[in-house]
């Protein structure tokens, strides 16, 4: 070959003297340069461009993007492409046209991010449905991967019904719509709920157009309250009130129902705009009264559970939906009505007797006192509560005219206020005793037919006024204490715990002033009435009649009987007793000395 070249007639000096391309005219050179430039891409930094893989090393992937030089992409950016090979087309992001080493630097990861944001923006602009994968839950919602970008799916945008467990969505794919983009924070908000709502709108319109009273629908419980549950009927919400859940009584819907539970309900009512829909569940089953056994009649004994206690009585549930009222008057033979809660409480299981029953009105009245013997019909009642017999009972009620005492279950008696004390003027029984306290009484009158029992307390002792008649004789003077005053005069406390009265004009003292409450002065007896238990006194008469000898208190000619003295002593001791025993004992001693003299 070399020999053949040497034998040729070739001028090497001429070749060396010519430059590259000297054989082309200037026009041809420009044309060739233009053709060369067309084979190269115009590249701009921070731009996504397609390239071809030309080489793969253990660290980098060499990509030809049509530039004067090939670019490098880190191999780890292709981890999602396990089968990457030479000749594959890939999109890359131009980070740097020329680094310090003169190398073109590319990035596939950034290219994917740029393309992802472009797709997200396009989905928002064109209202497109995209698919995302739930990566994890976060505060208030879920994090979803869309095109490699993490987006936020708020909990309120997951579904039309409240979501209580977000974890069930992790790892699942969901169809979504982009609802908001914030490029400043690289934040994307998506929604799945809007897709459901669109489908529900058609379903909702269809349901509302066909809605009729009595229509049976299937729904899902979406919310529960103490007054009922809200049911999703397919885009339309209805209220199932607690009273329409079951024929029986329940205190809260959760006793029978659960959230997200599918139930069948019947449309009871709705407004003209069909915005409020009332639903029922118990109406899908027959009323329990319709299946109540025919052998339950007046006089039948039934068993059940107390489901409600009111001021007037209690309701006994025989079967769910069938209740009977036990009026408070039918709880005890006692004629004195008490609070039903004294006898029964919710949850009590007991037996009762049917008093009335109306199947058409679905009403029933029951009684429990009928299960025991009427104490007023007992054969030994006349002997047990004969006039003059003594008994102890519990004070059940106080009135203006007296108090009621329960001697035994069903046997009540009245103690009139005037029969409480021989010596005290008691205006109201509360001055003498309290409810629930025990009191000893004597039977004054018994009327079995009228179920009336008249009782007395003061009659347990003899009338001390027999002895007082000899002590508080007219004209006698006694040390008295002013208890209270009114427009007419003052009430005075005399010895032995009894009370007297003095007119205002007779309260004036020698210095012209009037006796005041709490002041102790001498008073003269002007009038004494054993029958009326009245003593009229005067302080004025103790000093205006100085010429006449003052008649001091004289002891009785005859001693009072011991029971009467003890009675007066007990009453003086306190408002709940009948006298001051010490003072009355002194009265007895004085009277005894007088007799001996």
Question: What confidence tens digit (pLDDT) does each residue in 170-188 have?
Answer: 998 988 889 888 888 888 9
For residues 276 and 300, membership in a common domain is answered with no
The whole-number pLDDT of residue 97 equals 67
Based on the domain organization, do 420 and 469 belong to the same domain? no
Do 92 and 25 belong to one domain?
yes
- The pLDDT-based confidence of 489 (bands split at 50, 70, 90) is very high
* Same domain (yes/no): 470, 591: yes
Q: Is 8 a member of any domain?
A: no
Beta-strand pair 71-74/104-107 = parallel
On whether residue 4 sits in a domain, the answer given is no
pLDDT at position 231 over 80: yes
Q: Alpha helices, DSSP H only, in 311-402?
A: 381-384
Shared-domain flag, residues 501 and 527: yes
Rounded to 10 degrees, the C-alpha dihedral 362/368/370/373 comes to 180
Among residues 164, 191, 210, which one ends one of the domains?
A: 210
Spatial CA neighbour of 233 closest among 203, 196, 275: 203
pLDDT at 577 > cutoff 50: no
Gyration radius (Cα) of the chain, Å? 55
User: Does 201 map to a domain?
Assistant: yes
| pLDDT tens figures, 257-278 | 998 899 999 999 887 666 788 9
Q: How many domains does the chain have?
A: 6
Specify whether the CB–CB gap between 106 and 60 falls below 8 A.
no
Helix/strand/coil percentages in the chain, nearest 5: 25, 35, 40
Domain final residue pick, 228, 252, 284: 284
Strand partners, 579: 572
Residue 82 belongs to domain with CATH number = 2.40.50.140
pTM for this predicted structure: 0.46
Q: Where are the alpha helices (DSSP H) in 325-380?
A: none
Asked if residues 78 and 61 have their Cβ atoms less than 8 Å apart, the reply is yes
Specify if 9 maps to a domain. no
- Bridge partners, 503 (sequence order): 489
User: Could you tell me the residue range of the domain that residue 522 belongs to?
Assistant: 465-596
Give the helix ranges, DSSP H, for 259-385: 381-384
- Tokens 């204490």 appear where? 481
- What mean pLDDT, rounded, does the chain reach? 81
Same domain, 471 and 591: yes
Domain stop point among 210, 244, 259: 210
Supply the DSSP symbol for 345: -
**Number of residues in the chain:** 597
Q: Please determine, for residue 580, whether its predicted confidence score (pLDDT) is greater than 50.
A: no
d(CA 334, CA 369): 9
Q: Which residue in 134, 204, 120, 121 sits closest to 163, CA to CA?
A: 134
- pLDDT tens for 449-475 read 888 899 999 888 877 777 788 888 899
Is residue 7 in a domain? no
Residue 11 lies in a domain: no
* Domain assignment of residue 78, yes or no: yes
pLDDT for 281? 93
Is the same domain home to 247 and 306?
no
Beta bridge partners of 304: 350
Give yes or no: residues 572 and 475 share one domain: yes
Q: Looking at the structure, tell me whether residues 485 and 577 fall in a common domain.
A: yes
User: Are the beta carbons of 289 and 321 closer than 8 angstroms?
Assistant: yes
Q: Determine the pLDDT at residue 574.
A: 39
Strand partners, 190: 178
- Are residues 295 and 416 both part of a single domain? no
Whether residue 240 is found in the same domain as residue 318? no
Identify whether 392 is part of a domain: yes
Query: Model confidence over 276-308: pLDDT tens digits?
Result: 889 999 999 888 998 889 889 999 999 999 999
Residue with tokens 């005399």: 494
213 has pLDDT over 50: yes
491 and 592 in a single domain? The answer is yes
Cβ-contact 300, 355 below 8 angstroms: no
């Amino acid at each position: 070959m070399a020999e053949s070249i040497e034998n040729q007639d070739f001028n090497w000096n001429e070749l060396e003297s010519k430059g590259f391309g000297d054989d082309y005219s200037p026009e041809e050179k420009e044309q060739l340069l233009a053709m060369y430039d067309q084979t190269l891409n115009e590249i701009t930094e921070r731009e996504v461009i397609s390239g071809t893989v030309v080489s793969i090393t253990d660290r980098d992937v060499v990509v030809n993007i049509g530039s004067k030089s090939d670019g490098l992409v880190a191999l780890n950016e292709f981890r999602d492409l396990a089968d990457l090979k030479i000749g594959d087309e890939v999109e890359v992001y131009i980070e740097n046209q020329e680094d310090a080493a003169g190398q073109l630097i590319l990035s596939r990861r950034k290219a994917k991010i740029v393309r992802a944001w472009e797709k997200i923006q396009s989905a928002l602009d064109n209202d497109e449905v995209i698919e995302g994968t739930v990566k994890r839950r976060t505060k208030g919602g879920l994090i979803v991967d869309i095109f490699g970008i993490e987006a936020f799916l708020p909990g309120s945008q997951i579904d039309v019904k409240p979501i209580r467990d977000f974890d069930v969505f992790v790892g699942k794919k969901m169809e979504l719509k982009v609802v908001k983009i914030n490029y400043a924070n690289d934040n994307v908000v998506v929604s799945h709920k809007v897709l459901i709502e669109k489908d529900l709108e058609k379903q909702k319109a269809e349901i509302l157009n066909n809605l009729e009273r009595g229509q049976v629908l299937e729904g899902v419980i979406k919310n529960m309250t103490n007054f009922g549950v809200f049911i999703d009927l397919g885009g339309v919400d209805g209220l199932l009130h607690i009273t329409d859940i079951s024929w029986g009584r329940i205190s809260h819907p959760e006793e029978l129902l659960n959230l997200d539970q599918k139930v069948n309900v019947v449309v009871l009512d709705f407004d003209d705009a069909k915005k409020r829909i009332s639903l029922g569940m118990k109406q899908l089953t027959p009323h329990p009264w319709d299946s109540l056994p025919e052998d339950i009649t007046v006089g039948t004994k039934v068993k059940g559970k107390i489901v409600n206690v009111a001021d007037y009585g209690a309701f006994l549930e025989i079967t769910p939906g069938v209740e009977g009222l036990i009026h408070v008057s039918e709880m005890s033979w006692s004629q004195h009505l008490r609070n039903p809660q004294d006898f029964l409480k919710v949850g009590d299981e007991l037996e009762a007797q049917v008093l009335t029953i109306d199947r058409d009105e679905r009403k029933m009245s029951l009684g429990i006192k009928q299960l025991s013997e009427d104490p007023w019909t007992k054969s030994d009642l006349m002997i047990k509560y004969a006039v003059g017999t003594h008994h102890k009972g519990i004070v059940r009620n106080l009135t203006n005219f007296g108090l009621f005492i329960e001697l035994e279950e069903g046997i009540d008696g009245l103690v009139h206020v005037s029969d409480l004390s021989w010596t005290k003027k008691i205006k109201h029984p509360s001055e003498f005793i309290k409810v629930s306290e025990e009191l000893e009484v004597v039977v004054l009158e018994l009327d079995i037919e009228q179920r009336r029992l008249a009782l007395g307390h003061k009659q347990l002792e003899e009338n001390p006024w027999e002895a007082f008649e000899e002590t508080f004789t007219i004209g006698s003077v006694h040390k008295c204490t002013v208890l209270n005053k009114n427009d007419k005069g003052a009430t005075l406390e005399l010895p032995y715990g009894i009370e007297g009265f003095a007119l205002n004009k007779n309260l004036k003292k020698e210095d012209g002033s009037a006796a005041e409450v709490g002041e102790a002065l001498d008073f003269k007896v002007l009038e004494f009435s054993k029958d009326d238990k009245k003593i009229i006194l005067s302080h004025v008469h103790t000093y205006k009649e100085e010429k006449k000898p003052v008649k001091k208190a004289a002891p009785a000619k005859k001693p009072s009987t011991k029971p009467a003295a003890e009675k007066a002593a007990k009453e003086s001791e306190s408002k709940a007793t009948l006298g001051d025993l010490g003072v009355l004992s002194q009265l007895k001693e004085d009277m005894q000395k007088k007799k001996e003299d």
